[in-house]
Structure 1
Amino acid sequence: MNPPDALDGLFRIDAAGCADGTGFALAPASLLLRCSGPARLEVLAVGSPEAVSRHEAAGGACRLQRPHSILLPALVNAHAHLDLTHIGPQPFDQQGGFTGWIGMIRERRASGILPGIQSVRRGVGLCLMGGAAAVGDIVAGGPEAAQAQLRDGRLSGAAFLELLGIGPREPVAIERVRSWAADIRLGGPNGWGGLAVGLQPHAPYSAGMKLYQVAADLCRAAHAPFATHLAESRDEHELVAEGRGPLRDFLDSLGLWTTSLASCFGRGLSPVQFLYPVLRAIPTLAAHVNDCSDDDLNLLAQTRTSVVYCPRSASYFGHHADFGPHRYQDMLSVGINVCLGTDSIVNLPPQHADRLSTLDEMRFLWARDRFNPAKLLAMATIHGALSLGLDPNRFTLATPGAAYGGEGRRVAGIIGVDASDTDPALHPLIRVLESCSLPEWLPLPPEAAMEEGG
């Protein structure tokens, strides 16, 4: 049967199996859920069908049969650029390189608040299609655009206000972010749905160190999330370490390359080493970190940095040719919190343009690296939640067979993945990774809950 449209009630889902990022997996499996209002879902019991049948509330539940599906907790997309959704997937121009790609984005980014809102709303819908209940979104356009774009409440997580200002433009950018901080309340909740509001100095090549420090101080005082792009490309490394290369020429073309700015770069530091004073001062969500030496790895392990790895984005740009394989496994082994993000739709394959999903990132890594399936799911759920300041328990399932009284155990959502195209003898999570199916929200997606609840 199809999921009912009612928001309130008990639901039992009988499925081929279930799994979460703690290593818990079971086949077959049943979940007993209570839905009590918009976007509120509680797990009453999870376990074998026989165990769940013994729960006192099981008899009155609406039963949903998903005999070929594996049930998972809702996913987290820890790094996205939803305002670029209108651009769609684009081929990468090898001759123009990373810096040329930045120029293309500058030309095609939507101008004005309304087009940006429309692009973000479409991006939110694609996140939901991908099974994500939370996002770390990089928001261009300042607080007014962010509030209009993201207050619909369909996703939780963080909205990072993007900060650009380097060289002669840095003082103006500092005054702007101080003004923003006076006008809005950084952190959360902020009346913007489930999103906390944070700051994101864009990258070492587009935000000056003083701007980084001011933004970090504001976020630390407000207990707000803080993020940046870091160690993403060869062009970035050449600028930071050597003071030359395409990004230096790009800054010069904008009239931003000055003697004072030149003195900041070219000291032989890697991007991680360059930004280490900031990383040491505040927990940071660092997107990409494709460029990571052993020394960089040790420095990151000394901080409270979370790394958002975007595997398909790194493949799109060919960063492995410059830096070798991404060191996400080494990062995990030394205790760095590594999570997954999609980056923007621009760098995704055209055949995947109907969703923004960290499940696709998991499948990419499974096909390429055969990395531990439970750890992949943890990167797309628990680790992502931690990086955005969310309760990681809302992105797991309960202990098998456990029964919860009172209000139950609240979760961000439940998705099911049809694995009928895989071998039933495989581990449930491997079946998810080898399936080609899109996730299905059970019993209701957050979007439907919001529409029903107004």
Structure 2
Amino acid sequence: MGAQVLTAPLILTAPGQWVEGGGVFVCGGRIEAVLASAKDAQAVAGEHAAELLEFPDTVLTPGLVNAHTHLELSPLAGRLGQGLAFRAWVDELLAARGRGSPEEQARALEQAAQRMLETGTTLVGDIAAGNSAEEALAESGPARVCYREVLDGGEERRAAAALTTVAAPLAQTPDRYEGLSPHAPYSTSSRLLAGARDLARERNLPLAIHWAETEEEERWMMRGRGPLKGLVKSSPRCSPLDHLDAAGLLGPRLALIHGNHPRSGDHERLAAAGTSLVHCPGSHRWFDRRPFDIDAYLAAGVNLALGTDSLASNADLSLVREMAILREEQPHLAPECVWNLATVGGARALCLAGQAGVLEPGARADICAWPRAGLAPEAWLDSVTRGQRLPRALWLGGRRRHSALDTPA
């Protein structure tokens, strides 16, 4: 993979940071430099014998970061009902999981991964309970933080066995990073959470946990009542966040997923700990949930990211669509804020700040080329975050992985 210099009339290196008429110098899968002018781009290309790729009427940006999904559930697309109560949805999920031939499941995974690339996602936080995604996506799809899931149904006697499934480290590659996901506060005992904490510290792993997704979770955690009774065995009789905090899990290496029903003071506790929160607008709409109080998290200073969740609770894995839904549901949010959630915020949530979601020296060479259509920077960003544009080319670690162009102009 030789050195390249990509040039375009507009380059968005990070939220609010534009370069006009410059370029991006890529070598060895990483960004070596962002160049301020076409003259600089030509000089660097000549000096390093790099291929010069010129893209007129184009905007170059970092790839998008989908901070939460379950790619292994992609074969369930269209098989579960929308708007179901959470327990009813779980029952349908458990009944439908595993249906279809291995070939059908592998094809669904490959299609899901390709859809992410086509819509600009170059990095994904993927929670996996099994190995199906590993086998199908070994050579395709975006870069992944693979969060291996563990749960014991709240039964401490099962904790040790659950942790043995993740005892051996996951082999890492340039496009695959290891993570750990204790499923949720209601489905994990204190013993399992403590074991996951120790393992994460030992291997310096990022953590992802579903949290405060439903009112049913709160009811079960606090009082041992509601629809989750029978699905899990034991209620800790404390709040979901207290359960995680008591295990020493709050901190900057933890991303909490959903956060639809926080208790008073939870926002400030997350901000103080440096814990991230991932919101999934499409899945939120799928379940017809009450409006997400994004302003409370922003006001507290919580790092926010966007995710799609899975095709078992969403119609698409496009983060462009997630930005558009977020703007529809939260019309007061500025395009720059939404873009931040889809790039910088996501990279931070996955513990890859500075390595993804930005175009800067040392970062992964994950780059999208979007049609500009002659728009000024602010108007272009407004159109993209409203879902009106898709990238026409994408590079993952410096390798072109998707293109609607035969050759660069």
Q: Normalization by structure 2: what TM-score?
A: 0.84
Q: In the alignment, which residue of structure 2 is the partner of 1:405?
A: none
Give me the whole-angstrom Cα distance separating, in 2, the residues matched to 1:167 and 1:278. Answer: 14
Q: In the alignment, which residue of structure 2 is the partner of 1:373?
A: 335
Match of 1:31 among 14, 23, 28: 23
Worse overlay, 336-345 or 356-365: 356-365
Q: In the alignment, which residue of structure 2 is the partner of 1:77?
A: 66
Query: How much is the aligned-residue C-alpha RMSD, in angstroms?
Result: 3.2
Judging changes above 3 Å, is the alpha-carbon distance between structure 1 residues 153 and 386 closer, same or farther for their aligned structure 2 residues? farther
Structure 1 ranges of 4+ moved more than 4 A: 48-56, 58-61, 111-119, 144-147, 279-282, 422-426, 442-450
Preserved contact between residue 288 and residue 309 of structure 1 (Cα < 8 Å)? yes
Preserved contact between residue 82 and residue 344 of structure 1 (Cα < 8 Å)? yes
Confirm whether residue 176 of structure 1 aligns to residue 162 of structure 2.
yes
User: Which amino acid letter does the alignment assign opposite residue 337 of structure 1?
Assistant: N
Give me the whole-angstrom Cα distance separating, in 2, the residues matched to 1:114 and 1:424. Answer: 48
User: Which amino acid letter does the alignment assign opposite residue 73 of structure 1?
Assistant: P
Q: Helix, strand or coil: the match of 1:246? A: coil
Judging changes above 3 Å, is the alpha-carbon distance between structure 1 residues 447 and 45 closer, same or farther for their aligned structure 2 residues? closer
Preserved contact between residue 130 and residue 359 of structure 1 (Cα < 8 Å)? yes
- In the TM superposition, residue 448 of structure 1 has moved relative to its aligned partner by 5.0
Q: Helix, strand or coil: the match of 1:185? A: coil
More helix per residue: 1 or 2? Answer: 1
Q: In the alignment, which residue of structure 1 is the partner of 2:98?
A: 110
Counting matched residue pairs gives 398
Q: Helix, strand or coil: the match of 2:368? A: strand
Match of 2:310 among 333, 336, 344: 344
Preserved contact between residue 156 and residue 195 of structure 1 (Cα < 8 Å)? yes
Match of 1:185 among 159, 169, 172: 169
Q: Helix, strand or coil: the match of 1:379? A: helix
Q: In the alignment, which residue of structure 1 is the partner of 2:278?
A: 308
Judging changes above 3 Å, is the alpha-carbon distance between structure 1 residues 66 and 433 closer, same or farther for their aligned structure 2 residues? farther
Preserved contact between residue 155 and residue 193 of structure 1 (Cα < 8 Å)? no
User: Which amino acid letter does the alignment assign opposite residue 64 of structure 2?
Assistant: L
Q: In the alignment, which residue of structure 2 is the partner of 1:327?
A: 293
Q: Helix, strand or coil: the match of 2:312? A: helix
User: Which amino acid letter does the alignment assign opposite residue 8 of structure 1?
Assistant: G
Q: In the alignment, which residue of structure 2 is the partner of 1:299?
A: 269
- In the TM superposition, residue 419 of structure 1 has moved relative to its aligned partner by 4.4
Q: Helix, strand or coil: the match of 2:389? A: coil
Q: In the alignment, which residue of structure 2 is the partner of 1:21?
A: 14
Judging changes above 3 Å, is the alpha-carbon distance between structure 1 residues 9 and 423 closer, same or farther for their aligned structure 2 residues? closer
Q: Normalization by structure 1: what TM-score?
A: 0.77
- In the TM superposition, residue 151 of structure 1 has moved relative to its aligned partner by 3.9
- In the TM superposition, residue 429 of structure 1 has moved relative to its aligned partner by 1.6
Give me the whole-angstrom Cα distance separating, in 2, the residues matched to 1:416 and 1:449. Answer: 12
- In the TM superposition, residue 121 of structure 1 has moved relative to its aligned partner by 3.5
Q: In the alignment, which residue of structure 2 is the partner of 1:238?
A: 219
Identity among equivalent positions (%) equals: 26
User: Which amino acid letter does the alignment assign opposite residue 157 of structure 2?
Assistant: P
Q: Helix, strand or coil: the match of 2:388? A: coil
- In the TM superposition, residue 86 of structure 1 has moved relative to its aligned partner by 1.2
Match of 1:196 among 167, 177, 183: 177
Q: In the alignment, which residue of structure 1 is the partner of 2:390?
A: 438
Q: In the alignment, which residue of structure 2 is the partner of 1:402?
A: none
Give me the whole-angstrom Cα distance separating, in 2, the residues matched to 1:32 and 1:299. Answer: 39
Q: In the alignment, which residue of structure 2 is the partner of 1:159?
A: 146
Judging changes above 3 Å, is the alpha-carbon distance between structure 1 residues 284 and 436 closer, same or farther for their aligned structure 2 residues? same
Judging changes above 3 Å, is the alpha-carbon distance between structure 1 residues 104 and 9 closer, same or farther for their aligned structure 2 residues? same
Judging changes above 3 Å, is the alpha-carbon distance between structure 1 residues 22 and 366 closer, same or farther for their aligned structure 2 residues? same
Max radius of gyration: which structure? 1
Structure 1 segments unaligned to the other structure (5+ residues): 1-6, 399-407
Q: In the alignment, which residue of structure 1 is the partner of 2:6?
A: 12
Q: In the alignment, which residue of structure 1 is the partner of 2:379?
A: 427
Preserved contact between residue 87 and residue 108 of structure 1 (Cα < 8 Å)? yes
Cα deviation, 1:198-235, whole Å, max 9, x if unaligned, reads 22111122222221221112111221122210000122
Which has the higher relative contact order, 1 or 2, with Cα contacts under 8 A spaced 6 or more apart? 1
Match of 2:324 among 345, 352, 363: 363
- In the TM superposition, residue 147 of structure 1 has moved relative to its aligned partner by 4.6
Worse overlay, 370-379 or 389-398: 389-398
Cα deviation, 1:107-153, whole Å, max 9, x if unaligned, reads 12226995665544333222222212211111012xx5565355437
